[in-house]
Amino acid sequence: MKAAMFMGCAMLALSTGLASAQTAAPTDSDTAIAEIVVTAQKRAENLQDVPVSVTALTADTLAARGVGNVMGLNNMAPGLRISANDAAANPKIFIRGVGLSDFNPNASSGVGVYVDGVYIGSPLAQMAGFFDLAQVEVLRGPQGTLYGRNTNGGAV
């Protein structure tokens, strides 16, 4: 009696395993990775081909999180910290701990901020609002070979 009961339970367990194994396998379109195009090396490239540590934030991501200026990017990329202690007049941007904590609005930070490839040198100008963005790219680490001397920490 016990042997028949064990056999019945074993057959039931195997039959449910076979039924779940027969479900449809995911197609290639379900598991495909969307191509992300970045301009980290000043030309459009696939993110997987770029040998730079990049975080790309799309316009949909920025809109979903309510990002309206550079202050909204705080903690959206690994190692990126943005704060403004002096009444939000000057953003203090740090990537991997490298940045500028000087209150002087004429000082240049160790993190370069670029809009459409143009360097924004003044911390006051970096506080301008974001309008009609396609994406924001955060490049970590020294980017001096591509972006110049003011990118010891990285570039946004």
Closest by CA position to 107, among listed 96, 120, 123: 123
26 vs 137, higher pLDDT: 137
Q: 98 is written with which tokens?
A: 């490298």
Residue 42's alpha-carbon distances to 20, 111, 145, in angstroms, are 49, 17, 12
Tens-digit pLDDT profile for residues 40-50: 778 888 888 88
> What does the alpha-carbon distance between residue 109 and residue 95 come to, in Å, rounded to a whole number?
11
| Torsional class of 154: left (φ above 0), alpha (ψ -120 to 50), beta (otherwise) | left
Tens-digit pLDDT profile for residues 2-15: 666 666 666 655 55
Grade residue 22 by pLDDT with cuts at 50, 70 and 90. Answer: very low
Burial label for 83, CB within 10 Å (0-12, 13-18, 19+), is middle
- Identify the structural domains of the chain with CATH numbers, from first to last: 2-155 (2.170.130.10)
Per-residue pLDDT, averaged over 127-142, amounts to: 83
Query: Whole-prediction pTM value?
Result: 0.70
Tens-digit pLDDT profile for residues 103-119: 776 777 788 888 888 88
Place of tokens 């000057």: 90
Mean pLDDT of the chain: 77
Per-residue pLDDT, averaged over 126-146, amounts to: 82
59 pLDDT above the threshold of 50: yes
